[in-house]
Amino acid sequence: MSDVVSAEKAKKKPKWLRVKLPTGESYKKVRSLVDNYELNTICQSGNCPNMGECWGEGTATFMILGNICTRSCGFCNVATGRPLAVDWDEPERVARSVKLMKVKHAVLTSVDRDDLADGGSVIWAETVKAVRRMSPGTTMETLIPDFKGVMRNVQRIVDVAPEVVSHNIETVKRLTRKVRIQARYAQSMEVLKYLKEGGLPRTKSGIMLGLGENKEEVLEAMSDLRESKVDILTIGQYLQPTKKHLPVVSFVEPEIFDELKEEGLKMGFRYVESGPLVRSSYHAERHIF
């Protein structure tokens, strides 16, 4: 991709990747609740650079179905192994956390649970229902796995109809096998298409840059997402969690992110978040249009 900074040449992260420490009364209030009640958010455990901004807007992301994934994607810092048994009290606990934190817009995500026949979709559906019951004014985005392409499991998400349903393709077609390992590019597109054809009003996906893709491949992936009727797209810079993970091939200049946003809007995406620090749930509350 043109207009990038080689990670090998860069001795430290470019200036556009430096983040200010979160501040503000709204952030401090939410942080106090999280600490005092030992609430679990992926914002904090994932050390998200946008945590302060999102919490200040009343948005928080919760990870369900444990913290051990059955997949070993090369970009992800979540532990891989044999997950613990399903905690059937989790939906109620997450819903209580959402209510306690007074979250206006809750983003739910999970590990992959390929060990379960339902892929974890029952817990997914029950969590959405529990949040709605305890916090009827809270809107939701569900960032779901592909459920191995088993559409009866995907249908459980369609049935509870969150305001936004997201499934990330993460990278371009050529790099999918390397980056996501057990996932398939075409399968993710099929899941996204199924969600939209099921009548969901807003579907969403995300791509990381800096893994060795070129601009043409990114545009191709964006076009494929539009063919699957995806409404919302996020594009951000990949950052290596540890030395054991895939290396950063390049740091993409902010101008390229701006160009991709413009191209995405021309393609027909209803909303495009594109920038070096953008993550899946960045400005998620704005995607309820």
- DSSP letters, 187-211, are HHHHHHHHHHHTT-S-EEEEEEE-S
C-alpha span between 253 and 49 (Å, rounded) = 18
- Using alpha carbons, select from 231, 219, 204 the residue that is nearest to residue 173: 219
- Check residues 276 and 33 and name the one with the higher pLDDT: 276
Structure tokens belonging to residue 262? 């413009």
Structure tokens belonging to residue 247? 């290396």
pTM higher than 0.85, yes or no?
yes
Q: Which residues pair with 62 in a beta bridge?
A: 108
SS3 261: helix
Residue 115 pLDDT exceeds 80: yes
Averaged confidence pLDDT in the chain: 88
Residue 62 pLDDT exceeds 80: yes
Q: The CATH number of the domain where 109 resides is what?
A: 3.20.20.70
Q: What interhelical angle do 121-134 and 151-160 show, nearest 10?
A: 0
C-alpha span between 220 and 246 (Å, rounded) = 23
What pLDDT is recorded for position 282?
76
Cα diameter, the chain? 52
Q: By mean pLDDT, which of 53-62, 166-175, 277-286 is the weakest?
A: 53-62
SS3 141: strand
What pLDDT is recorded for position 54?
64
- Using alpha carbons, select from 228, 230, 235 the residue that is nearest to residue 262: 235
Residue 233 host element (H or E): strand 232-237
Residue 257 pLDDT exceeds 70: yes
What pLDDT is recorded for position 29?
65
Q: Which residue is associated with the tokens 């005092």?
A: 36
C-alpha span between 49 and 239 (Å, rounded) = 11
What pLDDT is recorded for position 178?
95
Mean pLDDT of 145-167: 98
Question: What range defines the domain where residue 47 resides?
Answer: 4-287
What pLDDT is recorded for position 153?
98
Question: Domain tally for the chain?
Answer: 1
